[in-house]
Amino acid sequence: MTEQSNDTTHSSHNHGQCIEQALSTAESLCAEHGQRLTKVRRRALELIWQSHRPLGAYQLLAKLSEEGFNSAPPTVYRALEFLLSAGLIHKVESMNAYLGCSHADKPHKGYFLICDECQNVMEFDYQDIHQSLINKAAEHGFQLRSETIELTGLCQRCQNSQNEGPRT
């Protein structure tokens, strides 16, 4: 498993499983749609999945080039575009970074809980919110175009470590 222990997430879990799951979903989705999960696309997805902290395009570029991929910006951006359009990753606009999606097989908008402290991002699924936002906006004759909702705060783990107080 390629888990990085310093990149642990909001809650303790087997992150290797997250990565494995994401890659196998990606493979079956691509097969289903007759698309190719090329080496660079697959590796980009894997790198984005290294943690639940979104990864910036520049960081991704640096990692891929370290590994000897053709990491010319267009290659990397095309890979990102592919992953985005396949629904395998989301862009977290406020962080200008990319997050792996754990339920890529179900088309959805991105709703994110972003921890101010550890920068981990949790995706939550709340279609009702989206519909009522669309309705509210429509009351003002406004047509909503945003694809994501990004909320900031403190994750469970960071709350716990704050409650523990400073260790002396």
Which residue ranges are tagged as binding site for Zn(2+)? 115, 118, 155, 158
Point out which residues pair with 152 in neighbouring strands. Answer: 114
134 CB contacts (<8 Å, ≥6 apart)? Answer: 144
CB of 18 to Zn ion, least distance (A): 3
Helix, strand counts (H, E) of the chain: 6, 5
Residue list, annotated binding site: 115, 118, 155, 158
CB of 115 to Zn ion, least distance (A): 3
Point out which residues pair with 150 in neighbouring strands. Answer: 112
Q: Report the residue number, 47 or 118, with the smaller CB distance to Zn ion.
A: 118
Q: Report the residue number, 54 or 123, with the smaller CB distance to Zn ion.
A: 123
User: Which residues contact Zn ion (rule: CB under 5 A)?
Assistant: 15, 18, 101, 115, 117-118, 123, 155, 158
CB of 139 to Zn ion, least distance (A): 28
CB of 104 to Zn ion, least distance (A): 7
What span, in angstroms and rounded, lies between the C-alpha atoms of 102 and 99? 9
Q: Report the residue number, 26 or 118, with the smaller CB distance to Zn ion.
A: 118
CA-based nearest residue to 100, from 65, 67, 60: 60
Q: Report the residue number, 57 or 154, with the smaller CB distance to Zn ion.
A: 154
What span, in angstroms and rounded, lies between the C-alpha atoms of 39 and 51? 20
